[in-house]
């Protein structure tokens, strides 16, 4: 592009800008006139609107006052109506809620009573818990003292003997009559002293010896170590076996001839026997082989009850023998009395026969002569003849009431 062309381009641009400026100015002036016209019209409309607004405001103020007056009257009427309605509804609600109120009051009283009872129960429970705690502590101390005491051999022995005495008393046996305790007997091998000798009805006896191997038993259940408990229970069973061997060697049954070859080893607690059997199930067989029989209170009581029943049966048998002897004696005395009655009957028969003969002699001899004398003297009286006795004594025919003489052949009573 050369310089001339560039100049012409610049000139054209300048001319375009001038024309555009002039056109824009003219358009701006026309728009300004229009704007002034519009502004005047707007002002007129504004003034009209202001006047209308003022009129509307005035009307609204008057309407507001009228609305306030009307609304106040309406509100007053509605308030009165609402008050009446509310009062009626309140009365209805009160009548409906009165049973509920009564129930709620009763429930409240009951809740108060329950709360008082709960508080009293809590206090009583607290006292009982304190009492139980105190009793538990006292029981713990007494148990500890009892365990300590039972570890001593002499105390264990006394407890076993006391339990044995209690068992025989429960079975109904009487001391000095049905059993004896600590009877010492001298033998060639030395003295024997069984704890108890139970007499049986046939004159024989059963011997009972109480053993209380509590040492290892208490220690076994006082430890928490299973291995140590097993070892202590094994030692406990060994002690029981040792007592069986020693008791079987004493042969207590030799003290009473004819007594059963056995002796009862009494363990004063069922737990002692049960634990021993749990550890050694064949303990009964082992003891029986040594003529020893193991017994706890639950076993010994029925055995002694059977002995006591034997005493009752012996007493019944003795009473039966006495009754039989008295019957025999009564029978003999009845036989003797029947002989006396038979003699009395024969005497009565003889008397009746003599009386009848006398009556016959009176009628046939005496009265005949007396009547003749009466006829000669002319007396009106008449002598009556006495009556003969026609009933004879009954003859006894029962074998028990017939004497030996009447049983002889030829005697009419013998048949």
- Read off the pLDDT of residues 101-138 as tens digits, 9 standing for 90 and up: 788 788 888 888 888 888 888 888 888 888 888 777 77
- Read off the pLDDT of residues 337-382 as tens digits, 9 standing for 90 and up: 777 777 887 888 788 888 778 877 777 777 777 777 777 766 666 6
The pTM for the full model equals: 0.44
- Read off the pLDDT of residues 171-206 as tens digits, 9 standing for 90 and up: 887 776 777 777 766 565 656 778 788 887 767 788
Q: Is the alpha carbon torsion for 123, 128, 133, 138 positive or negative?
A: positive
The arithmetic mean of pLDDT across residues 22-27, rounded, is 74
CA dist 386 and 269 (Å) reads 96
Confidence band (pLDDT; 50, 70, 90) for 285?
Answer: very high
- Read off the pLDDT of residues 227-255 as tens digits, 9 standing for 90 and up: 888 888 888 888 888 888 888 888 877 77
The arithmetic mean of pLDDT across residues 286-303, rounded, is 88
Nearest Cα to 330, choosing from 395, 400, 266, 277?
400
Q: Find the Cα–Cα–Cα–Cα dihedral 317, 319, 320, 321, rounded to 10°.
A: 90
Longest Cα–Cα distance of the chain, Å, equals 246
Nearest Cα to 217, choosing from 171, 287, 268?
268
The DSSP 8-state label assigned to residue 366 in this structure reads: I
């Amino acid at each position: 592009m050369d310089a001339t062309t560039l100049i012409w381009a610049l000139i054209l641009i300048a001319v375009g800008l001038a024309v555009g400026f002039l056109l824009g100015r003219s358009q701006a002036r026309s728009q300004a006139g229009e704007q002034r016209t519009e502004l005047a019209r707007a002002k007129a409309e504004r003034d009209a609107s202001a006047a209308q607004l003022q009129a509307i405001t005035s009307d609204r103020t008057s309407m507001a006052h009228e609305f306030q007056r009307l609304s106040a009257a309406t509100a007053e009427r509605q308030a009165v109506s609402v008050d009446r309605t509310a009062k009626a509804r309140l009365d209805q609600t009160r009548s409906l809620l009165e049973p509920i109120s009564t129930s709620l009051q009763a429930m409240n009283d009951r809740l108060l009573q329950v709360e008082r009872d709960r508080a009293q129960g809590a206090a009583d429970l607290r006292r009982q818990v304190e009492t139980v705690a105190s009793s538990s502590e006292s029981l713990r101390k007494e148990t500890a003292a009892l365990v300590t005491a039972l570890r001593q051999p002499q105390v264990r022995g006394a407890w076993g003997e006391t339990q044995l005495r209690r068992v025989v008393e429960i079975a109904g046996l009487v001391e000095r009559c049905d059993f004896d305790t600590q009877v010492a007997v001298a033998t060639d091998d030395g003295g024997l002293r069984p704890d108890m000798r139970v007499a049986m009805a046939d004159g024989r006896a059963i011997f009972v010896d109480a053993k209380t191997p509590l040492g290892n038993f208490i220690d076994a259940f006082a430890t928490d170590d299973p291995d140590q408990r097993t070892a202590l229970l094994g030692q406990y069973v060994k002690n029981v076996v040792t007592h069986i061997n020693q008791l079987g060697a004493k042969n207590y049954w030799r003290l009473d001839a004819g007594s059963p070859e056995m002796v009862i080893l009494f363990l004063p607690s069922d737990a002692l026997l049960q634990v021993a059997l749990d550890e050694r199930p064949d303990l009964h067989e082992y003891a029986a082989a040594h003529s020893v029989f193991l017994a706890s209170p639950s076993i010994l009581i029925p055995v002694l009850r059977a002995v006591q029943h034997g005493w009752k049966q012996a007493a019944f048998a003795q009473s039966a023998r006495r009754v039989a002897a008295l019957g025999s004696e009564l029978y003999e005395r009845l036989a003797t009395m029947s002989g006396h009655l038979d003699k009395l009957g024969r005497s009565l028969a003889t008397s009746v026969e003599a009386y009848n003969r006398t009556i016959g002699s009176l009628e046939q001899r005496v009265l005949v002569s007396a009547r003749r004398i009466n006829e000669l003297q002319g007396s009106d009286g008449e002598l009556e003849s006495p009556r003969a006795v026609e009933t004879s004594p009954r003859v006894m025919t029962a074998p028990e009431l017939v004497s030996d003489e009447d049983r002889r052949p030829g005697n009419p009573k013998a048949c």
